[in-house]
Amino acid sequence: MASRFLLCCGVLLGLSCFSVRAQDSFDEYRKKRMQDFNAYRNRREKDFEEYRRKRSLEFARYLEERWKKFEAYKGIKRPVEPKPKEPVVFDEPETKIPDLVKIPIRKVVPVTPAPVTPNPVKLPPLKENVPVTSKTKFMFLNTPCYLAMNQSLKFTLKGISEKNIADAYKRLSDSRYDAFYNDCAQIYQRLNLNGWGAFLLTRDIAKRLQGAGNEAVLLQAVLMTQLGYDVRMGVGDNRLCLMMASTESIAEYGYLKVDGRNYYIMDSTFRNGPFYTYEKNIDGAVRPIDFDNPVDMKLDYAATTVRQIRSLKYPQMSAQVSVNRNLIDYYKEMPPLAGNCWNVYARQALENPCYRMLLPQLRQYVTGKGQKEAASMLLDWVQTGFQYKTDDEQFGYEKPFFKEEIFFYPYCDCEDRSILFSYLIHQLLKLDVVFIYSPGHVFTAVCFDDPVEGDYIQIDGKKYIICDPTYIGADVGRCMPNYKNASFEAVRIDWN
């Protein structure tokens, strides 16, 4: 018995020793992995800093050469089209058999995927749990950010000649700015910003360090090109201006053409006239400014007042919605896009909190319904749940909404309703939907899998049934009478 007891004790002691050695081995392995990762991260940071300094000094020498004269083009005007002051209300008797009409389509605008330009600049890897006690705190879109920024980094331009700008650029290439540039890249990545978000961030940072003026323009240009964006400086009206390439045509802002690419002058106070700029940009600055966000920006969440949106025809169909006020503030800063650019607004995903709040509420009403009934419910929810006003009445200018904005502003018009309705059809019913456009009006048409009767258009042999979110009370398949003989464009939507 005693020998068995001693044997058990020996086994337990051996297992204990093995366990301690295994734990020690795991701790050593974890420590080694962390050391390897830190070494890799430090190498990436060092590579980024050395690459940044090398290409910046090379570019500073290039900036000393004489800049070329370019003529500025006037900005494209915002679209101004007469829209109905009041929405059209469907008033035909329910018993009337409709005269089904094939609506003529003069043009089908193909899918325009979100442009993607890979970033050739290798940004430093994200750091976690970085001490911020020695950094400057500032608020970007009501989101706290921390930056290695102090007055020793501030500089003064002696003038705006090529040599003055090149000398300042050389100073900004110095190693004393390494931590500052690294922090800017960290903030940009941590917040998941797109090109326009990067533009707003670097504009804020440049103004905080340099105030308004030529120095802020130069610093913002440097910051944007460090992130890989095709932004350049120009001289006009005896001052520096910032010009940017864009994935979309921008209205109102003047622009230059350099190597066949438009560069928009991002200051509306500049008059039209000759501008001077350089023909080649710094190595790696190739990405045009984009306005698409494939993933949520990581802005702090500030919930707006909850709104309840209810269908008139289906009063049980109601949804409570709140959105992020900080995201609304970001959208307010968007430049006006030229032309019929509804694809940009439609393909933008709902921010996650809004998606998780809205979609499950609506899904419960349409689950188990046939495609036409489900579409009719969603159509009436959009038709009757929102108050109508034209953009001109509400803002004094044309302003298409991103989907979150329709739940924030008190009124919306036809393109806003069509953007939201098309998204709901795509998300909840998984059906193909297109925009239908005629000057003064935008609505949608849906390609049903089930047989559905009604006014329709035809694309590639497939029927798309008219669904008009601004024809109040009209069911699926009803086109406004005054548009039945109009000539339309059909605009396909890219949801990827």
- The domain boundary, picked from 277, 292, 310, lies at 277
Using CA atoms, how far apart are residues 398 and 439, in angstroms rounded to an integer? Answer: 13
Q: If DSSP codes are grouped into helix, strand and coil, which group holds residue 465?
A: strand
What is the pLDDT at residue 37?
45
- What kind and span of H or E run contains 172? helix 162-172
Alpha-carbon separation of residue 326 from 161, 246, 344 (angstroms): 39, 24, 20
pLDDT reported for residue 404:
97
Residue 254 sits in the same domain as residue 325: no
Task: Tell me how far apart the alpha carbons of residues 308 and 407 are, in angstroms, rounded to a whole number.
Answer: 9
Q: What's the pTM value of the predicted model, to 2 decimals?
A: 0.87
Element (H, E) at 442: strand 441-447
Q: Per the domain annotation, does 453 fall within a domain? A: yes
Specify burial of residue 52 (Cβ count, 10 A radius: 0-12, 13-18, 19+): buried
Domain that holds residue 265: 52-64+116-277
Q: Are residues 460 and 316 located together in one domain of the fold? A: yes
Q: Which of 213, 244, 277 is the last residue of a domain?
A: 277
Q: Sort 355 into a burial class: Cβ within 10 Å, 0-12 / 13-18 / 19+.
A: middle
Does residue 268 form part of some domain? yes
Q: How far, in Å, CA of 131 to CA of 182, rounded?
A: 14
- Sign, CA dihedral 235-58-286-198, equals negative
Q: Are residue 333 and residue 464 in the same domain, yes or no?
A: yes
> Sign of the CA dihedral 14, 18, 21, 27?
negative
Task: Note whether 210 and 229 are same-domain residues.
Answer: yes
Q: Same structural domain for residues 263 and 122?
A: yes
Query: In this predicted structure, what is the pLDDT of residue 93?
Result: 67
The rounded distance, in Å, linking the Cα atoms of 252 and 290 is 17
What is the structure's pLDDT at 84? Answer: 76
3-class SS of residue 407: helix
Diameter of the chain measured on Cα atoms: 104
Position 31 scores a pLDDT of 54
Same domain, 410 and 433: yes
Q: Is residue 214 part of a domain?
A: yes
| Shared domain check, 404 and 361 | yes
- Specify the pLDDT at position 242: 96
Number of domains in the chain: 2
Cα distances (Å, whole numbers) of residue 266 to 115, 215, 263, 469: 21, 15, 9, 35
Considering the domain boundaries, does residue 122 fall inside one?
yes
Q: Are residues 336 and 250 in the same domain?
A: no
- My answer on whether 143 and 223 are in the same domain is yes
DSSP category for residue 401: P
Compute the chain's Rg from CA coordinates.
Answer: 29
Rama region for 255: left / alpha / beta (φ>0; ψ in -120 to 50; rest): beta
Cβ count within 10 A of residue 103: 21
418 plus 486 within the same structural domain:
yes
Residue 410 forms part of a structural domain: yes
Residue where a domain stops, chosen among 277, 308, 333: 277
**125 near 41, Cβ under 8 Å?**
yes
Residues 266 and 192 in one domain: yes
**Would you say residue 141 lies in a domain?**
yes
Residue 247 covered by a domain: yes
Position 209 in a domain: yes
Instruction: Give the type of residue at 198.
Output: A
The CATH number of residue 372's host domain is 3.10.620
Q: What pairing do the DSSP bridges indicate for beta strands 68-71 and 274-277? A: antiparallel
Same domain (yes/no): 369, 450:
yes
Which residue in this structure is represented by tokens 């326009």? 196
Which segments of the chain have a pLDDT < 70?
1-48, 93-99, 271-272
In terms of Cα–Cα distance, which of 329, 372, 346, 380 is closest to 90? 380
State the DSSP code for 65.
S
CA distance linking residue 280 with residue 398, whole number of Å: 35
